[in-house]
Structure 1
Amino acid sequence: MLPAASVSAAKVDLSQFCPRLDGDWVGSAAKSGSRPKQVTTAAICSSDKRNLMLTVSRGDSNPNSEVWWFRAHSGDVLLTYTDGVGADREQVFSLYQRGDSFTFLGKGQLNQRPALIRLSFEPLSSTTSAPIDNGNNDSWLWRQSAHYLDDDSQQYQLIRAIELTTVQPN
């Protein structure tokens, strides 16, 4: 018996991911080592699918809401992040798709250290043993992780994870 062929990741445009997140989401969120808290996330995909704005409600990592603005930029994705406390931060990412999962990868600074930063969005049913039944199976796990380049470790460290489950209309 031959082993199943692995699915390789392919670089994709933001337009292939943007409409999948468009809408309102709820779920728990936690930094590594912290207790989960409930958050709401609003995602707006522009009509040209070149801009995606995520607003995560306050309460998880700071007392203010966070805004993650992803926009198409010369074949890559430019992210502007603001939490209302510190200075806005910008980072260029490449976006990859593997199966139904999407991953933003970029090189930058985290905690004043050089790092490879990974923002992964995986269908929640692929991260659990049982499928999630919420009508349209639109549930994601958003993992924010980093691999510090000044560290000998070969692994990414989880910074935070956010569960995104579609808010069902009344």
Structure 2
Amino acid sequence: MTMPERTEPSTTAGEREMLDGWLDYHRETLAQKCAGLDDSRLRELSAPPSELSLLGLVRHMAEVERGWFRNTLAGEGLDPLYYSEADHDGDFHVTEQDTYAEAYAAWQAEITRARELAAAHGLDDIGKTKSRRTGESYNLRWIMTHMIEEYARHNGHADLIRERIDGATGD
């Protein structure tokens, strides 16, 4: 696998271009953290008993993209890909049968759909589904900002996991 490209966000963009740029930058960062590792290395846990792995993070971010853009913004009401009522952390519970190829394809499909949905909405547009926990509504600006935060937090995890696996560091 070749190293995925990562585009630096503009330093002078308007709000929408800035949000799109930073979100894509963080998506690309996670892909870079996984590049060059085989499935067994991608399944390695960060520091047991933690169940964090790079493969689990990719599966988790597929779920997060799906949840915020397809379900919250667009109201598609889709079922989860990897977790269930019986296993709320199923995205992180990877097995020997789970592959990066499958998780990456699912993640990229969710990113593609998220980009389509975001492009069809303005930043002030309110999502069709309210929070089950709080009953609050979310506009696209909030969703995109939250997604940047979500990726940034998990990319920090990915940094540490990758360094533990093979010593690779970098931003």
| Structure having the larger proportion of residues in strand | 1
> With structure 2 as the length reference, what TM-score do the two structures score?
0.26
